[in-house]
Chain A
Amino acid sequence: MSVTKKKRISKKNKSAWRKTDIQDVEQFLEDQRQEERIGTFADKKDADLFVVDATPQKVKPIILTPKEKRKLNAKKPMRSHQALENTSKVQDPIVKRNHVKQKKNGRNIELEVCNPTKGRHRQANSDRARYYEKLDQRLADKNSNLKTAKDIWQVEDFRDKIPGLKDEKGWISRELALHITGNVGRKVVKTHESLRHSTTKAKKFEPPHPGLSYNPSLEAHQDLLAKVVDREEGIIKTEKHLQRVTTRMFSKVTPEQRDLRRLMEMSEGVGDEADEVVENEDKADENDDKAYHTVNAPVENKKKSKHARRNELKQKELKRQHEAKKALKKQTADLLRIKSIRAEVDAEAEELNELKKHRKKVAEKKKFEPKRLGRHKFVEPDIDVNMPEDIAGNLRNVKPESSLLKDRFQNMQKRNILPTTVIASRKLAKIKRFPRSSHKEPGVSYQDLRQQRKATAAAAAAAKDTIKL
Chain B
Amino acid sequence: MRRPNKYESGEATQYISRRTAIRRLQISLNDFRRLCILKGVYPREPKHRRRAQKGSSEIKILYHAKDIRFLLHEPIVWTLRDYKIFAKKTGRDRAIKDFRNLKRRLALYPEIKLDHIVKERYPTFIDALKDLDDCLTLLFLFSTFPSLHLIPREQSNLCRRLTIEFLHYLIASKSLRKVFISIKGYYFQAEIKGQKVTWIVPHYYPFKPQSKHEVDFKVMSIFVEFYTIMLGFVNFRLYHGLNMAYPPQFPSSVLQDNPETLKDESTFVSDRIAALNFELLRTDKVQEDEEDPDIDMELLEQDGDSKRIIKMKQDAQEVARLRTLFKGLKFYINREVPREPLVIIIRSFGGKVSWDSTVFAGATFDEADETITHQIVDRPSLTKQYISRDYIQPQWIFDCVNQRQLLPTNKYFMGEVLPPHLSPFVDAKRDAYIPPEERALHDPSLIETHAQSDDESEEEAADEQAEQMLLDAQLERAFHDENIEDKKYGGRDGVSKEDEEVPSDEDEDDEEAEDDEEEELDPKTKRKLEEQQKMSVQSGKVHKVNKRQVHKAEVDEHRLQARMVKPRHRDLFRKLIREKQSKEKEEWLLRKKRRNIEATAKEAKKTAKREARKAAATAAASAAKLSSK
Annotate B138-165 by CB proximity to A: 1 below 8 A, 0 otherwise: 1001000000000000000000010000
Q: In terms of DSSP, what is the predominant structure of the interface of chain A? A: loop
Chain B contacts with A in 454-478, Cβ cutoff 8 A: none
Assembled-state Cα–Cα distance A402/B215 (Å): 13
Give the chain A neighbours of B437 by CB distance below 8 A. 217
A216 an interface residue at 8 Å Cβ cutoff? Answer: yes
Assembled-state Cα–Cα distance A404/B208 (Å): 11
Given contacts A217-B420, A393-B418, A151 and B70 within 8 Å (CB-CB): no
Assembled-state Cα–Cα distance A394/B398 (Å): 13
Tell me if B425 and A207 are in contact (CB < 8 A): yes
B202 an interface residue at 8 Å Cβ cutoff? Answer: yes
A445 an interface residue at 8 Å Cβ cutoff? Answer: no
Assembled-state Cα–Cα distance A401/B423 (Å): 17
- Shortest CB-to-CB span from A208 to chain B, Å, is 5
Given contacts A205-B198, A210-B423, A218-B420, A152 and B67 within 8 Å (CB-CB): no
Give the chain B neighbours of A374 by CB distance below 8 A. 43, 59-61
Tell me if B423 and A406 are in contact (CB < 8 A): no
Assembled-state Cα–Cα distance A408/B221 (Å): 12
Tell me if B184 and A402 are in contact (CB < 8 A): yes
- Shortest CB-to-CB span from B15 to chain A, Å, is 12
Give the chain A neighbours of B41 by CB distance below 8 A. 195
Chain B contacts with A in 415-450, Cβ cutoff 8 A: 417-418, 420-423, 425-426, 435, 437-438, 441
Tell me if A207 and B215 are in contact (CB < 8 A): no
Assembled-state Cα–Cα distance A399/B62 (Å): 41
Give the chain B neighbours of A153 by CB distance below 8 A. 119, 122, 124-125, 128, 233, 237
Tell me if B43 and A212 are in contact (CB < 8 A): no
Given contacts A395-B393, A404-B202, A192 and B183 within 8 Å (CB-CB): no
A112 an interface residue at 8 Å Cβ cutoff? Answer: no
Tell me if A208 and B180 are in contact (CB < 8 A): yes
* Count, chain A residues at interface, CB 8 A: 69
Tell me if B233 and A145 are in contact (CB < 8 A): no
A117 an interface residue at 8 Å Cβ cutoff? Answer: no
Tell me if B247 and A146 are in contact (CB < 8 A): yes
Partner of A402 from the list B180, B183, B338, B378 (CB cut-off 8 Å) is B183
Give the chain A neighbours of B379 by CB distance below 8 A. 396
Tell me if A212 and B423 are in contact (CB < 8 A): yes
Assembled-state Cα–Cα distance A79/B378 (Å): 80
Give the chain B neighbours of A142 by CB distance below 8 A. 111
Given contacts A217-B438, A374-B59, A398-B203, A151 and B229 within 8 Å (CB-CB): no
B34 an interface residue at 8 Å Cβ cutoff? Answer: no
Tell me if B426 and A207 are in contact (CB < 8 A): yes
Assembled-state Cα–Cα distance A424/B184 (Å): 28
Assembled-state Cα–Cα distance A210/B424 (Å): 8
B115 an interface residue at 8 Å Cβ cutoff? Answer: yes
Give the chain B neighbours of A395 by CB distance below 8 A. 181, 337-338, 378, 393-395
A118 an interface residue at 8 Å Cβ cutoff? Answer: no
Tell me if A148 and B337 are in contact (CB < 8 A): no
Tell me if B67 and A195 are in contact (CB < 8 A): yes
Given contacts A146-B247, A400-B183, A213 and B421 within 8 Å (CB-CB): yes
Annotate A206-230 by CB proximity to B: 1 below 8 A, 0 otherwise: 0111101111111110000000000
Tell me if B66 and A208 are in contact (CB < 8 A): no
Give the chain A neighbours of B237 by CB distance below 8 A. 151, 153
Chain A contacts with B in 411-441, Cβ cutoff 8 A: 411-412, 416-419, 421, 423, 425
Give the chain A neighbours of B45 by CB distance below 8 A. 199, 371-373, 416
Annotate A375-403 by CB proximity to B: 1 below 8 A, 0 otherwise: 10000000011100000011110111111
- Shortest CB-to-CB span from B113 to chain A, Å, is 9
Annotate B209-251 by CB proximity to A: 1 below 8 A, 0 otherwise: 0101111100110010000010011011100100000110000
Tell me if B183 and A204 are in contact (CB < 8 A): no
Assembled-state Cα–Cα distance A107/B232 (Å): 47
From B107, B124, B141, B240, residue with most partner A Cβ within 10 Å: B107
Tell me if A400 and B205 are in contact (CB < 8 A): yes
Assembled-state Cα–Cα distance A210/B202 (Å): 18
A139 an interface residue at 8 Å Cβ cutoff? Answer: yes
Given contacts A152-B119, A423-B213, A212 and B184 within 8 Å (CB-CB): yes
Give the chain A neighbours of B44 by CB distance below 8 A. 199, 371, 373
Tell me if B184 and A208 are in contact (CB < 8 A): yes
B91 an interface residue at 8 Å Cβ cutoff? Answer: no
Chain A contacts with B in 214-271, Cβ cutoff 8 A: 214-220
Assembled-state Cα–Cα distance A407/B229 (Å): 23
B345 an interface residue at 8 Å Cβ cutoff? Answer: no
Give the chain A neighbours of B200 by CB distance below 8 A. 404
- Shortest CB-to-CB span from A203 to chain B, Å, is 10
- Shortest CB-to-CB span from B394 to chain A, Å, is 5
- Shortest CB-to-CB span from B188 to chain A, Å, is 11
A138 an interface residue at 8 Å Cβ cutoff? Answer: yes
B187 an interface residue at 8 Å Cβ cutoff? Answer: yes
Tell me if A150 and B181 are in contact (CB < 8 A): no
Assembled-state Cα–Cα distance A254/B31 (Å): 56
B491 an interface residue at 8 Å Cβ cutoff? Answer: no
Tell me if B229 and A148 are in contact (CB < 8 A): yes
Give the chain A neighbours of B420 by CB distance below 8 A. 213, 215-218, 220
Give the chain A neighbours of B395 by CB distance below 8 A. 215, 395
Tell me if A408 and B42 are in contact (CB < 8 A): no
Kindly report which residue of chain A lies nearest to residue B202, judged by CB atoms.
A404
Give the chain B neighbours of A208 by CB distance below 8 A. 180, 182, 184, 187, 423, 425
- Partner-B contacts on A (CB < 8 A): 135, 138-139, 142, 145-153, 187, 189, 191-192, 194-196, 199, 204-205, 207-210, 212-220, 371-375, 384-386, 393-396, 398-409, 411-412, 416-419, 421, 423, 425
27 A-B pairs with C-beta separation under 8 A? A135-B107, A138-B107, A138-B108, A147-B232, A148-B233, A149-B236, A149-B246, A151-B237, A152-B115, A153-B119, A153-B124, A194-B64, A204-B131, A204-B134, A208-B184, A214-B421, A215-B181, A374-B60, A393-B417, A395-B378, A395-B395, A400-B183, A405-B141, A406-B215, A417-B42, A419-B61, A423-B213
**4 nearest A-B pairs in the assembled complex, by CB-CB distance:** A148-B232, A207-B425, A217-B420, A210-B423
